[in-house]
Amino acid sequence: MGKVAAKIKVMPDSPEIDLDALQERLESALPEGAKINGVEREEVAFGLTALYPTVIVPDGSGGTETVEENFSDVDGVESVGVENVGRI
């Protein structure tokens, strides 16, 4: 089994949020065995900016569920969704 990269879209709960601080909170919320490999940002609309961390998880350990759950609980996160998955 190889590894899987999942590009995850994280929407903040307001346009005013400190994105750097949010990014740090996401990093520290990662479950064991997963790692963030770069975070992209995309300006969406009306001041809202989405964060797109690419998270590497092993192929064969239950998908991205734990990462999604942990990210959802992070302060300042409105929603979490997986945009794309692919083997690396």
Residues that bind other proteins (CB under 8 A): 1-7, 11, 14-15, 37-38, 40, 42-48, 50, 54, 56, 59-65, 78-79, 81-88
- Residue placing its CB nearer to other proteins in the complex, 6 or 29: 6
Smallest gap from residue 9 Cβ to other proteins (A): 8
Smallest gap from residue 44 Cβ to other proteins (A): 6
- Residue placing its CB nearer to other proteins in the complex, 21 or 60: 60
* CB < 8 Å & 24+ apart, contacts of 45-50: 46/15, 47/15, 47/16, 48/11, 48/12, 48/14, 48/15, 49/12, 49/15, 49/19, 50/9, 50/10, 50/11, 50/12
